[in-house]
Amino acid sequence: MTTQPTAIPKLYIGMDIHKKSWAVHFRTDISDHKSLTLPPVCDVLYNYIQSHFPDHQVAITYEAGCCGFSAAREFLNYGWEVKVVNPADVPRGHKQTHQKTDKIDCRNLAKQLQTDQLHGVYIPGEEQDMLKSLVRQRAEVTRQFRSVKANIKSLLLYHGIQLPEQFDNPNWSKDFLLWLNGIQWPHPTGKSCLDSKLRIFNAVKAEYLQLANELRAYCRKHFKTDYYLLKSIPGVGGYLAASILAEVGDLRRFNNYKQFASYIGLIPSVRNSGGTENIYGVTPRCRALLRSYIIESSWVALRLDPSIQTYYRKHKGRNPKSILIKIAHKMLNRMLSVIKNNKPYQISNSDMESLKIKMKSTSKKQTAKQQE
């Protein structure tokens, strides 16, 4: 008489991923197996499991870090259950604050995985992951661009060269660049220094514009529907729409805007104990780049959308920053709504009329200034 297995054997794997090696701990549903150090190659781990645990159902986890999600996507292709976790969310005992090794970490991960104590983060697809890298590269170039401009103004300040009043602002016009090139230096070394900084400025500016154009063009081609749905919202431009698609992916995976707000990091940091509740502003757990973009878009929406202006006036007298966070929540709600309903955002008729009146009055003022 042959016996049939009543349950599928399970294998739980905790990993500590590094550039040159992987620390791996194997744990079955019955007992611990062993810890190993393997080369950072997915096929090596796969072959080991096929040799030693051929009939096991595999679940694997590791902490998110510099090595990204490429290994997780490969493991998913093997048909394994994969969890990538935030290192701050892994339960640890007090002992582990004083004794920390790769072996201890991966053993703890395997144990927590077996007891279902880990909550994994979203694993993006390869296309979204690379699009996100492009968004972050553009953000890095933006920081370099600001730094170069600050260096040029610092050079002028150091040598006592006064900026004309019309150029003493963050906007760098063509006239300002012509003025910079026309500065008369008492010694040629000063001009050489400024010329070097201007060459860097022109190179970084070209890259800054090129990356933004490539990002928008890619999203118009590959995510056309969602891209234009997001752009229909006042305050959301092409670059922000592309950034949302890159950082978040498909917004339809959120059940409601509260989940979306939590993912972005537009929720309060709260401590409630013994009947006392303290709120410390927005949470530090966030998508920092995207959250800053959405806050900026809220200022733009306040200028363009009459309904947002009405909402702002109703709360006038409160902390403006708190009101702006509320407006940012409205922006998130609109973003999720247009994507889920697959319909562009439409301003109401009354709001549209007031917007047209505002635009006409603005154009009249500009015409009057030009005539003067």
Domains for the chain: give ranges and CATH numbers.
10-114 (3.30.420.40), 126-222 (no CATH), 228-349 (no CATH)
Residue-wise pLDDT for 70-127, tens only, equals 999 999 999 999 999 999 999 988 888 788 888 999 999 999 999 999 999 999 999 9
Least confident range from 28-32, 92-96, 183-187, 230-234: namely 92-96
Instruction: Return the percentage of the chain with pLDDT > 70, whole number.
Output: 92
- In SS3 terms, the chain reads as CCCCCCCCCEEEEEEEECCCCEEEEEEECCCEEEEEEECCCHHHHHHHHHHHCCCCEEEEEEECCCCCCHHHHHHHHCCCEEEEECHHHCCCCHHHHCCCCHHHHHHHHHHHHHCCCCCECCCCCHHHHHHHHHHHHHHHHHHHHHHHHHHHHHHHHHCCCCCCHHHCCCCCCHHHHHHHHCCCCCCHHHHHHHHHHHHHHHHHHHHHHHHHHHHHHHHHHHCHHHHHHHHCCCCCCHHHHHHHHHHCCCHHHCCCHHHHHHHHCCCEEEEEECCEEEEEEECCCCCHHHHHHHHHHHHHHHHHCHHHHHHHHHCECECHHHHHHHHHHHHHHHHHHHHHHCCCCCCCHHHHHHHHHHHHHHHHHHHHHHHC
Q: State yes or no: pLDDT of 353 exceeds 70.
A: no
Prediction pTM value: 0.85
Q: What is the pLDDT of residue 351?
A: 57
Q: What is the pLDDT of residue 317?
A: 83
Least confident range from 43-52, 213-222, 313-322, 354-363: namely 354-363
Q: What is the pLDDT of residue 8?
A: 86
Q: What is the pLDDT of residue 174?
A: 93
pLDDT band, residue 336 (cuts 50/70/90): very high
Mean pLDDT taken over the chain: 89
Least confident range from 135-149, 253-267, 270-284: namely 270-284
Residue-wise pLDDT for 214-251, tens only, equals 999 999 999 999 999 999 999 999 999 999 999 999 99
Residue-wise pLDDT for 112-169, tens only, equals 999 999 999 999 999 999 999 999 999 999 999 999 999 999 999 999 999 999 998 8
